[in-house]
């Protein structure tokens, strides 16, 4: 069994166009024996990008809970220990959303499913590359 935390980009690909996720990663993500998590940081990131006009996500945001539930995923809240670790990670990546997802994965022993090259190449936690 693998416990996976979806990075925001992997979540968006799964929701909008699952064919963008490579077959091996999709098999791991879809395996009901594996636990799947979605961070509250992803909801925050999607809402922020939608507000800035960089993402058309009003439908996703309006149905967030149903979407996460339909994926058999668990909402992962952000707690103070996550925030402290995200802010203090000795890792050069500056994106606060990615830092939070890495901190949450590190604290809970989760593997991050991501297409983000920066995370795949250098996150201080295990990753599952979803790129084709």
Domain annotation for the chain: domains and CATH numbers = 3-129 (3.40.50.1010)
pLDDT digits (tens, 9 = 90+) for 89-132: 999 899 999 999 999 999 999 999 999 999 999 999 999 999 99
pLDDT band at 40; cut points 50, 70, 90: very high
pLDDT digits (tens, 9 = 90+) for 1-28: 999 999 999 999 999 999 999 999 999 9
- DSSP letter string over 17-59? -GGGS-HHHHHHHH-TTSEEEEEHHHHHHHHHHHHTTS---HH
55 DSSP β-pair partners: none
pTM, full prediction: 0.96
């Amino acid at each position: 069994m693998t416990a996976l935390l979806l990075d925001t980009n992997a979540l968006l690909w799964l929701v909008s166009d699952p064919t963008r996720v490579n077959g091996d990663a999709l098999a791991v993500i879809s395996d009901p024996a594996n636990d799947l998590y979605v961070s509250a940081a992803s909801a925050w990131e999607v809402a922020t990008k939608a507000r800035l006009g960089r993402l058309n996500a009003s439908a996703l945001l309006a149905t967030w809970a149903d979407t996460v539930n339909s994926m058999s995923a668990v909402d992962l809240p952000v707690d103070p220990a996550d925030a402290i670790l995200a802010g203090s990670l000795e890792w050069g990546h500056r994106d606060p959303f990615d830092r939070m997802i890495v901190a949450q994965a590190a604290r809970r022993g989760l593997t991050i499913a991501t297409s983000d090259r920066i995370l795949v190449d250098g996150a201080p936690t295990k990753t599952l590359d979803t790129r084709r």
